[in-house]
């Protein structure tokens, strides 16, 4: 069945306003058993743009859909050219204080788990353990023919060999590591096939219009059932892949708390939405709980979002 990806959501006028009171989050974490569900908003301070926030990439960019990728060789050429270039800057992103606070909560036994909609690996880089990558990871590729997995670094090496000197200037980098390039810049970029069977390679991420693997969804549902509360961090919850867990928690009477500067599609199911930047809010929560946050490797904001002056 062809799925129509949900790219935009318009908040209704009657949504409750956000607050700046971190008390409910402090209380929930203090009680333990909190399940974190994070989205792109937690990575913006690391220089990775989000899709729908202020200046989000959807205002200028339509992401690749699963249907287009699988149906068109030219679409795959465009995707891999843009993704190959974007990865050079995407991988320079480092965890920010928000990621490090989540890792600290986990180390101190306050979390029952972490689910992330992000594909950047920054939760793990910050020290979070047992992170469920709901939408997969850009660090792996999978063959659509034989199902073989391989490291992204290996594919990067092969693409470099097949496309020597490929270094166009991108106007911006998107949340999925995709660089904005024109068709002329993509040119005759050569796509590498699967080394095992010669089939089509795809990043091991869930594209727009592609379902999350059912076993992964069920695992997340189990985590929601076991949690004492659900803490949503930096997600608009526009897409059903994340919203369904908010609805599940609310239906079961499990408190839902959201920290996101803008309204979300899950606000009507939440006890509160705290409208504060995560890089400030989460360390403040940690301080109130007496949980030290490791900042020894915290980097300044990496200029990943823009590799060159933004296109007008």
pLDDT surpasses 70 at 129 = yes
Catalytic option among 61, 84, 99, 135: 135
The per-residue pLDDT for range 204-250, each reduced to its tens digit, is 999 988 999 999 999 999 999 999 999 999 999 998 999 999 999 99
pLDDT surpasses 90 at 12 = no
Annotated binding site for Zn(2+): 143, 146, 194, 197
Annotated binding site for NAD(+): 39-59, 117-120, 234-236, 278
Annotated binding site: 39-59, 117-120, 143, 146, 194, 197, 234-236, 278
Residue 247 contacts residue 269 (beta carbons within 8 Å) = yes
Residue 105 contacts residue 231 (beta carbons within 8 Å) = no
The pLDDT assigned to 173 comes to 73
Domains of the chain: 23-289 (3.40.50.1220)
State in Å, rounded, how far the first CA of the chain is from the last one: 37
The model's pTM: 0.86
pLDDT surpasses 60 at 3 = no
Can you list the positions of beta strands (E) in the chain?
34-38, 111-116, 131-133, 136-143, 149-151, 201-205, 229-233, 256-259, 272-274
How many other C-beta atoms can be found within 10 angstroms of the C-beta atom of residue 284? 16
The pLDDT assigned to 9 comes to 52
The per-residue pLDDT for range 150-173, each reduced to its tens digit, is 999 999 999 999 999 998 887 777
The pLDDT assigned to 14 comes to 75
**CA 76 – CA 113 distance, rounded (Å):** 35
How many other C-beta atoms can be found within 10 angstroms of the C-beta atom of residue 39? 29
8 is catalytic: no
Residues 6+ apart with CB under 8 A from 290: none
φ/ψ (deg, to 5) at 36: -90, 135
């Amino acid at each position: 069945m062809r799925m129509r990806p949900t790219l935009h959501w318009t908040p209704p006028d009657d949504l409750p306003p956000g607050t700046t009171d971190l008390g409910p989050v402090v209380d929930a974490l203090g009680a333990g058993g909190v399940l974190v569900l994070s989205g792109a908003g937690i990575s913006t301070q690391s220089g990775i743009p989000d899709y729908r926030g202020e200046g989000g990439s959807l205002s200028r960019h339509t992401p690749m859909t699963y249907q287009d990728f699988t149906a068109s060789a030219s679409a795959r050429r465009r995707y891999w050219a843009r993704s190959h270039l974007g990865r050079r800057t995407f991988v320079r992103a480092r965890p920010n204080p928000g990621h490090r606070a989540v890792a600290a909560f986990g180390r101190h036994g306050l979390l029952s788990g972490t689910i992330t909609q992000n594909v950047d690996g920054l939760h793990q880089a910050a020290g979070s353990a047992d992170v469920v990558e709901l939408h997969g990871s850009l660090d792996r590729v999978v063959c659509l023919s034989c199902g073989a997995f391989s490291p992204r670094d290996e594919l990067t090496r092969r693409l470099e060999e097949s496309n020597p000197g490929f270094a166009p200037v991108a106007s911006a980098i998107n949340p999925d590591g995709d660089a904005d390039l024109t068709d002329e810049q993509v040119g005759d970029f050569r796509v590498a096939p699967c080394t095992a069977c010669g089939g089509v390679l795809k990043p091991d991420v869930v594209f727009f219009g592609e379902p999350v693997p059912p076993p992964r969804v069920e695992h997340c549902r189990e985590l929601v059932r076991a949690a004492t509360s659900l803490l949503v961090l930096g997600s608009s919850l526009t897409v059903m892949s994340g919203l369904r867990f908010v609805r599940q928690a609310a239906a079961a009477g499990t408190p839902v708390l959201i920290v996101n500067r803008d309204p979300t599609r899950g606000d009507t199911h939440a006890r509160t939405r705290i409208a504060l930047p995560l890089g400030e809010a989460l360390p403040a929560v940690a301080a109130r709980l007496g949980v030290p946050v490791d900042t020894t490797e915290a980097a300044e904001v990496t200029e990943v979002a823009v590799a060159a002056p933004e296109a007008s």
